[in-house]
Structure 1
Amino acid sequence: MLRRKMVMASALAITVTLSAPLSAAAAPSSSPSTGSSSSAPSDPSGTGGQATQEIANLQQQIDQLNAQMLAAADAANQAVGQASVAKDAATQAKADLDQANADLDFAKKKANNVAADLYKQGPLSLTQSTLLSSDGPQDFIDKAVLTDQVGDYQVENINAMLDAQKKQQEASTAADAAAADAQAKADEAQKVSSDTQAQLTAAQAQMNDLRIKAGMPPQVDENTPQGVTADSSGVTGQVTGEWALPASGTFTSCFCPRWGTFHQGIDIAGPIGTPIFAAGSGVVLRAGPATGFGLAVYIQHPNGDVTVYGHVDKYNVQTGQSVSAGQKIADMGNRGYSTGPHLHFEVQKGAYGSRVDPQAWLASRGIMVG
């Protein structure tokens, strides 16, 4: 059974990556491993078994530390995204207000023209002025209707301007609050990272010393950044109707609590390079570095849902690109806060919105995982 990983990401965290777990008891999920207690050399004295247990204990410690960092990083990443959405909403509200003000100015000009005509006619009522300036009954009716419309139009635009002004103020306040929340969560993520990084580094070094003594290879950092690569494989995923299985492999973690935090997606484990496919047609919102994930791809589907593919080794798509269900978008990897090669797949209700159970979401579309 392959090892697992954690969730999403945010600001400034140094990644510590483990290529594979050492024992099924080391964490809530496990994965095929390059080394385990069963592969350790025979040790009648029991020293090897003790080393294996120490390694398993260290693995648990590293998993817990990574979980703390990932939870903070995920909260910060979501907050930063939500702040961006709120800022865009405030920008749009400001544009709407500007348009409403322009419409009101135009309405005022129309009203001023009517007032100017009345002034030219002298001390007459609007009805009398309209009557005197008309060429006949039908022209009088048309001008009277137009006069009423000008008045209604002016009131309408005043109300529209006031409504737009209120919305702009609300959107601006929301954007400021979201930005402050994002900064606070980014600061918290940085603090958690700083507090745990030394412990992770020490545990990793101790882990590799024990692995070498037990005859196992040391673990390797898989997090060298990679760019987008063209996909020339022609591989297509398993498509059912309009939806597809994101990746083939071993289901290793659910949308559920884990290590004192909540795992916001599901994990599908497999060898590095295993193809990852778009779960449905849509547009790539983001593809590239993502704190915590190392590299990730985000796809928004026509219904507004966003699917996230984390810890990828390489990606084959670019921001703004349209993709179809089952299209290969990336290779499975072990980047970011990860304890083994796997795909972290999650579903957001709108960009940076609330997360839902991906397993149930896929099942409702005819795609079974786990």
Structure 2
Amino acid sequence: MFRRLAFMLTLGSSAIFNTASADIDTRLKPGQYYQPTILDHVIRPSRSAISIGPLNETKVIVKLVKSIDGRNEEQVLETPELEINCKNKFASSRLTNDYFKISYRSTYEIQGELECGRTNTWYFDVDSTEGQVMAIHDIAMKAVRKFNDSDLLSFWKRRVNLRWPSDGDYYSWNTVNITRGHFWDVVGHELGHAIYDQANIGVSAGGRHRIDECYNGALALSEGWASFFSAWLSIDLKDSNASFEYMVKRRAPLNIESVPTDVCHGPTNEWRVTAFLWDIIDLSYDGESAQESFAKIWKMTLNENYRSINQLAKDLTQKMDPILVKMLWEKNFLTQFDE
């Protein structure tokens, strides 16, 4: 007997973002990144547990296990669409759908033991190959779910390839390359480049960039927006200390509620672009009262191909209180807003 479980998805020339000498979008030399031996790209839980669930419902819960200061911390992940075989007590799923696929040389497949009529918990150790793949799946599936829940999914017409392991963390020609799957903020940032590209939020830009320096408007917007997207995926809007945990090790944690004063001032710095956009949608009061929805900002910026945050902010003044936009601009960029 086969049946479907979890979120139902049907199967279904992008820009290149420069990766040279960057804080986030970087490439490694051969031999500098992990290349696992995976038999037929099949991954399995490190271990599993079975418990009695409500109404004898068949359920699979996926958890990522991290060891922190000698204790295990469990994180619940998005559950993949699974094909259930009750007779053989087995479930499986190829990690591909209309919106994304996760692959190395071929697409990964998850397989695990299962008992129907019970709650089955699959555990994946974060340091394992399996855990890395499932952590990437969690971010990608979260993006699909959040866009779907906000009725914004129709723009997503090209299936994004998420490649792990890869020679760096960067986006190129509809492929998101990842070195560490559990670096949730970095994975979200690189996926953000794919979304930014596909939704035509802004023009594609390349060049050297370091998160505390200034460069050009187009590059600062594309990098800053990608980090803003990562924050929207994974950070609580009410978090008064909203920060990226793994992004740019030399500056981590990257606080987007309060950008350090030594970071280059002005709208050509990506960190400040992220903080400005985050202030518009967050629910944490830090001297400003903006609480716009991500959906509103998304609809306003979709297919606009902005060349800088300046252009985007000017459009914001037509949809929001212009005095509030000016205040957020000066708070985050530490420069005067040129209307």
What is the TM-score with the length of structure 2 in the denominator?
0.22
Query: Greater share of helix residues, 1 or 2?
Result: 1
Higher RCO, Cα 8 Å, sep 6+:
1
Which structure has the greater CA radius of gyration? 1
Higher strand fraction (1 or 2): 2
